[in-house]
């Protein structure tokens, strides 16, 4: 576990991978225009674990979708590794709130879904096996999604993202529909996975504890329109001790910051 701590040290002075510059997003609906995001900026280093927290409706999912290239911002730009994000790319893989597995594919086929060079059987097998191993589903490779529990299904979704070989993983409240103990286990697994693969991770959550357990840096957002309230470095050593005074203090601090009044 101390290696994870080293990891966080090591990454602190590294190059910038993702740069969000002055993003605004206006949705136009039948009822008029809604400003979802306003002049939002932050950055994320290579190998860094960043969380985005905020109350529901503050536009954190929209922000992640813009970084993923699934949604277009109204103004501003996202730079990934120095180049503008214009759409989905091979350098980013998304894990959605729901597992979104393909019901007609087995676990192993679902994981192999995004592999680029799908004709290269050896490569597909190598990447699939590696991902299955990382998410601990080797014994379930032949199972179909409907045979899996919620936690296992979300693991498959994470495996699918890993097999895509992205530089960054973008997770949109991936554990929010899981029960408390499954969530805690998956959080631990995600940290381990981050340690093993050294991927850059951006995770959206409304759960402050989750943000504190997982990330090195958390972007605290305020709602209506969504903007960055504060970028908070979490310099606590891994694994994070939830009962420690330092942890509690940070939690208290974020709670105050994230209040719905503005």
- Interface contacts to other proteins, rule CB under 8 A: 68, 70, 88-90, 93-94, 96, 98, 100, 102-104, 113-114, 116, 143-147, 160, 164
Length of the chain, please? Answer: 262
Q: Which is closer to other proteins, CB of 69 or CB of 223?
A: 69
CB of 190 to other proteins, least distance (A): 19
CB of 113 to other proteins, least distance (A): 6
CB of 50 to other proteins, least distance (A): 19
Query: Omega before 239 cis (within 30°)?
Result: yes
Query: Omega before 225 cis (within 30°)?
Result: yes
229 sits in which H/E element: strand 227-233
Q: Which is closer to other proteins, CB of 148 or CB of 208?
A: 148
192 to 137, 188, 199, 238, 240: CA distances (angstroms)? 15, 6, 11, 10, 13
CB of 101 to other proteins, least distance (A): 9
Q: Which is closer to other proteins, CB of 143 or CB of 224?
A: 143
Quick one: which of 19, 35, 51, 28 has its CA closest to 172? 51
Cite the DSSP H helix spans in 28-149: 60-68, 107-111, 121-134
Neighbouring residues of 251: CB distance < 8 A, sequence distance ≥ 6: 208, 209, 212
Q: Which is closer to other proteins, CB of 123 or CB of 251?
A: 123
Q: Which is closer to other proteins, CB of 96 or CB of 238?
A: 96
The rounded distance, in Å, linking the Cα atoms of 149 and 154 is: 9
Using the 8-state DSSP alphabet, how is residue 117 labeled?
A: -
CB of 80 to other proteins, least distance (A): 14
CB of 136 to other proteins, least distance (A): 19
237 to 2, 185, 214, 234, 251: CA distances (angstroms)? 8, 19, 11, 9, 15
Q: Which is closer to other proteins, CB of 41 or CB of 176?
A: 176
The rounded distance, in Å, linking the Cα atoms of 41 and 231 is: 10
CB of 49 to other proteins, least distance (A): 20
């Amino acid at each position: 576990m101390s290696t994870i701590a080293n990891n966080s040290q090591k990454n602190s002075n590294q190059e910038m991978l993702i740069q969000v510059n002055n993003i605004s997003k206006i949705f136009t609906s039948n009822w008029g225009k809604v400003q979802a995001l306003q002049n939002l900026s932050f950055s994320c280093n290579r190998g860094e674990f960043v969380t985005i927290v905020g109350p529901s409706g503050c536009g954190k999912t929209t922000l992640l979708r813009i970084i993923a290239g699934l949604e277009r911002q109204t103004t501003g730009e996202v730079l990934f590794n120095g180049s503008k994000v214009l759409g989905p790319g091979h350098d980013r893989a998304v894990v959605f709130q729901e597992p979104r597995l393909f019901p007609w594919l087995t676990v192993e086929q679902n994981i192999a879904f995004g592999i680029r060079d799908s004709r290269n059987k050896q490569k597909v097998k190598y990447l699939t096996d590696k991902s299955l191993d990382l998410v601990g589903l080797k014994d379930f490779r032949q199972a179909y999604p409907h045979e899996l529990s919620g936690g296992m299904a979300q693991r498959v979704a994470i495996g699918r993202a890993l097999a895509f070989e992205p530089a960054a993983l973008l997770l949109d409240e991936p554990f929010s529909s899981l029960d408390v103990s499954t969530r805690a286990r998956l959080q631990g697994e995600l940290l381990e996975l981050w340690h093993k693969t050294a991927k850059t991770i951006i995770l959206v959550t409304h759960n402050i504890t989750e943000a504190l357990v997982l990330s090195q840096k958390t972007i605290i957002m305020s709602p209506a329109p969504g903007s960055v309230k504060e970028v908070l470095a979490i310099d606590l050593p891994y694994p994070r001790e939830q009962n420690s005074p330092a942890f509690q203090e940070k939690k208290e601090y974020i709670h105050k910051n994230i209040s719905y009044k503005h």
